[in-house]
Chain A
């Protein structure tokens, strides 16, 4: 039968199922197909910390949301237009997020009495009026997959496990996605087991053909490619981009990269990725604990590597003492904190921005460090380079505050020209720097950067000792002199304030905004989308986003004071707002949410409109 084809400008799809149903993989493949087509994309994986929570339960639900459009988009979308629910738990856990009229594709095979009871459904929502107002497509996904694989030499279990490919095939048909990359992917993934390649391809094809033939799906959709800057793109997650940024920092500095890390969600993927890049001279060490991980990184920095440690909030807490040592030693060190919801174990797979205070202040003594934050998945690449630039130029620890949202979310990335990346070459000290021509003064500073010389072991004539005890200016000898300590504390603070960072830019297309929204880190997308919404209603609003949290851009105070009101949305209880109020005496309005999820653009838009009403 001929199907109607309808054009859409944007679609949000959420794949939801049990943790073992392969929803992350399904979403990832759909995203890749969509990227190939040239749509703009933003994704939001959402999964439990448990590897396999009890099957069919609400805590075991894993989902992957993908937003794609024929124009540039900033967020993974507030509400799905389509929900794929692989079982009753997935339906129940996600239904509240669906606007009326949304399409719901359900795997009817899983709607058994037992599975319904597990999530507290008295009767099947497919039979009662629970889903009234939605467009429900009941599909016997599991049994059709098993049926399609009857002739294949795979176990029933393996056949059932291929149902996610059936779902992917159906959705790929529905949204006219090119599927070649998925076929290639399956060949790679199951290279060792050709029978599984055949089974998964057959399941995908069956899903596609089902869409083509069934009368239940009368319409096929198309979303045209977005107008994007010319160039070569790939879809990339924040953790992957950050890893590549660290590799690039090694190439552009000419230094070996040393990563010390201890497994922790959601940062472990950076360790996995970097461990693959030994041919770049990247050395990774899975340490015995978080403290050893940063210690080994600092030891490597002392020896002339770019020392890096990657972790999440609990790990930064453990590393705190060593970061302070790095402040005292004045050696380069990059500390990546992929933030998650805390305190303590909190919600390890959910996002939050609540480690800002710890990054800025969480050390003993006066121990200032540089702090930066990426605004989007692909921006993690450039943030990693910037962290390396500051660490190497100013010989200081730099904390890079990523979070779960940008780390696991993805977006298209216009590949940069390698030659255009910053030149990070450093010069090690090779000669004595004392007036007498023979003495080496390890704490004699560069007058411009206040950085001390980096004299690595192996350099003859520059043998010297450094340590955590307070050092005399210039000589680095142990010193308990009161005036010297005062001087050194102020100098270490000045060293951070001296770091040159770009001015903050304000986006105010109307030019007459009286309200500024200031954000930092991963809230860039939702804030940007909300500002667009506000402007579409004819109101003016300005947006500025902080990448450098320490030191802050030199023009920030002036920018803040030129607006009547400043709104600071954060996924914490107002940590940046406190800093802004204290530092600039600006009566900022703090808007906060700590739900483990990114802001939706709609709720931010409502908040901003309220503020605008009162200007």
Chain B
């Protein structure tokens, strides 16, 4: 194969001529800018890039990308993108969705896309609220959330999106934050390189209906003690001077956070996103408390598994390889197969 030609694209090339219409201060602006800046490094022609979205604030995203794009209907983007991706393996297909779109009305399509391992990069903008319908609680809102539709507080237990994705056999799972451009791009880079479904949760601030939902993870005075930055091959420590660490407690099922000074260095878990057993990444996904302490970000899991697209395409290729006739000849043969009789 010849070396790919450098396309020399810039962020500007990925900006469409449409006026961006999110609320001033919305976290979506930061994500859009980060992605527009990141896309050129993939060196994929714009015409081979497709963004498919559902409904919600985040789902307006495709209108602002100067690629191919479809703003579809509520919750169905993974299904529509699956048909596109599996029938067009030459394309780079991205799904942009939100917590209501992906986890409530479209929950079924999300889990099935992940279990099939369709070659989609799924970006879930999680702001833990319904923004476009003006402030109802979402499937990631905390219990007791007071909103327009839950004046006495929400009675539902929320989904943990990463736990859900891992339970659905996702082969790539990551999390990042709207305001940390460098980190966001690093997770997208890993996602883009992954063959199969890559599921990325992006914590996104809705400054109108749920302002400050992730403030502890952003505030310079708290974030270092709250955030666990996962790095493949590195011991998991965090906080000022690595004050805290993650250990696998003897006799326990999951992972726990300890003060680093209280454990032996070899007890500290070394992060390995390629662990085959999803239980490890699942345990990571369960670390955060209700107050967002111990929130891991980065790539939780990245394992090799054949994509649905590649299996389907190889079946097609194998069947087509047996063909020696023109399509018309094949068709004539098919129509005349089985028990036939001739009347003269």
Contact B336 A234, beta carbon cutoff 8 Å: yes
Contact B87 A300, beta carbon cutoff 8 Å: yes
- Closest CB in chain A relative to B317 CB, distance in Å: 9
- Closest CB in chain A relative to B313 CB, distance in Å: 9
Q: Does B16 contact A (CB under 8 A)?
A: yes
Bound-state CA distance A467–B53 (Å) is: 9
Contact A466 B340, beta carbon cutoff 8 Å: no
- Closest CB in chain B relative to A460 CB, distance in Å: 4
Encoded as 1 (CB less than 8 Å from any A CB) or 0, chain B from 301 to 344 comes to 00000000000100110111011000110111011101111111
Contact A38 B341, beta carbon cutoff 8 Å: yes
**How many A-B residue pairs lie within 8 Å, measured between CB atoms?**
196
**Residues of chain A lying within 8 A (CB to CB) of residue B70:** 302, 329, 465-467
Q: Does A563 contact B (CB under 8 A)?
A: no
Please tell me the number of chain A residues within 8 Å of chain B, measured between CB atoms. Answer: 69
Contact B88 A458, beta carbon cutoff 8 Å: yes
Q: Decide yes or no: A232 and B341 within 8 Å by CB, A251-B330, A416-B335, A478-B63 being known contacts.
A: yes
Q: Decide yes or no: A303 and B330 within 8 Å by CB, A460-B47, A477-B18, A478-B63 being known contacts.
A: no
Q: Which of B30-38, B72-80, B242-250 contacts A (4 or more CB under 8 A)?
A: B72-80
- Closest CB in chain B relative to A40 CB, distance in Å: 11
Q: Which of A82-90, A288-296, A503-511 contacts B (4 or more CB under 8 A)?
A: A288-296
Contact B109 A288, beta carbon cutoff 8 Å: yes
Encoded as 1 (CB less than 8 Å from any B CB) or 0, chain A from 451 to 492 comes to 000000111111111111100000001100000000000000
Bound-state CA distance A458–B87 (Å) is: 13
Contact B332 A418, beta carbon cutoff 8 Å: yes
Q: Does A406 contact B (CB under 8 A)?
A: no
Contact A418 B83, beta carbon cutoff 8 Å: no
Q: Does A322 contact B (CB under 8 A)?
A: yes
Q: Which of A223-231, A339-347, A388-396, A595-603 contacts B (4 or more CB under 8 A)?
A: A223-231
**Residues of chain A lying within 8 A (CB to CB) of residue B147:** none
Encoded as 1 (CB less than 8 Å from any B CB) or 0, chain A from 263 to 304 comes to 000000000000001111101010111011001111111111
Q: Decide yes or no: A278 and B320 within 8 Å by CB, A247-B331, A251-B331, A303-B91 being known contacts.
A: yes
- Closest CB in chain B relative to A470 CB, distance in Å: 12
Main SS of chain A's interface residues?
mixed
Contact B18 A478, beta carbon cutoff 8 Å: yes
Bound-state CA distance A172–B161 (Å) is: 63
Q: Does A209 contact B (CB under 8 A)?
A: no
Q: Which of B7-52 contact A (CB under 8 A)?
A: 16, 18, 45-48, 50, 52
**Residues of chain B lying within 8 A (CB to CB) of residue A307:** 83
Contact B79 A468, beta carbon cutoff 8 Å: no
Contact B79 A292, beta carbon cutoff 8 Å: yes
Q: Does A258 contact B (CB under 8 A)?
A: yes
**Residues of chain A lying within 8 A (CB to CB) of residue B98:** none
Bound-state CA distance A35–B343 (Å) is: 11
**Residues of chain A lying within 8 A (CB to CB) of residue B73:** 321-322, 325, 468
**Residues of chain A lying within 8 A (CB to CB) of residue B335:** 234, 244, 248, 415-416, 418
**Residues of chain B lying within 8 A (CB to CB) of residue A457:** 47-48, 50, 68, 84, 88, 91
Show the binding face of B for A, using Cβ within 8 Å: 16, 18, 45-48, 50, 52, 55, 62-63, 65-73, 76, 79-88, 90-91, 108-109, 112, 312, 315-316, 318-320, 322-323, 327-328, 330-332, 334-336, 338-344
**28 pairs from A and B in contact (CB 8 Å cutoff):** A38-B343, A231-B343, A232-B341, A234-B335, A234-B338, A244-B334, A251-B330, A256-B87, A281-B316, A288-B108, A292-B76, A292-B108, A295-B80, A295-B109, A296-B80, A297-B83, A299-B52, A299-B82, A299-B85, A299-B87, A302-B80, A303-B88, A307-B83, A418-B331, A418-B335, A463-B47, A468-B72, A468-B73
14 new A-B contacts at CB < 8 Å, known A247-B331, A300-B83, A468-B72:
A35-B341, A251-B328, A251-B331, A280-B327, A283-B86, A285-B82, A291-B79, A295-B79, A304-B87, A304-B88, A418-B331, A458-B47, A465-B68, A465-B70
